Amino acid sequence: MLNLSEENIFLNCRASSKKAAIKIAADSLIQGGFAKAGFFEAMMTREKSVPTYLGTGVALPHCAKESIDLVIKTGFQIFQFPQGVSWGDGKVAFVVVAVAAKQNEHLQVLADIADLLGDELKTTLLAQATSKKEFIEQFEKQ
What residue ranges do the domains of the chain occupy? 7-140
pLDDT for residue 115: 65
The distance between the two most distant Cα atoms of the chain, rounded to a whole number of Å, is: 38
How wide is the angle at C-alpha 13 spanned by C-alphas 8 and 16, nearest 5°? 135
The answer to whether residues 87 and 51 touch, using CB atoms and an 8 Å cutoff, is yes
- Determine the pLDDT at residue 55: 87
Residues of the chain with pLDDT under 50: none
Residues in the chain, total: 142
This prediction has a pTM of 0.93
pLDDT of residue 1: 55
Give the pLDDT score at 3: 79
Nearest CA-CA partner of 94 in 20, 13, 16: 13
How many Cα atoms occupy the beta-carbon half-sphere of 129 within 13 Å?
26
Main-chain phi, psi angles of 81, to 5 degrees:
-120, 85
pLDDT at 43: 97
CB proximity list for 73: less than 8 A, separation 6 or greater:
33, 34, 100, 102
C-alpha 10, offset from chain centre: 10
Under CATH, which number does the domain 7-140 receive? 3.40.930.10
Rounded to a whole number of angstroms, the CA Rg of the chain reads: 14
CB 100 within 8 A of CB 76: yes
Catalytic residue ranges: 62
* pLDDT reported for residue 45: 96
**Amino acid identity for residue 81 in this structure:** F
Pairing of the two strands 58-59 and 91-100: parallel
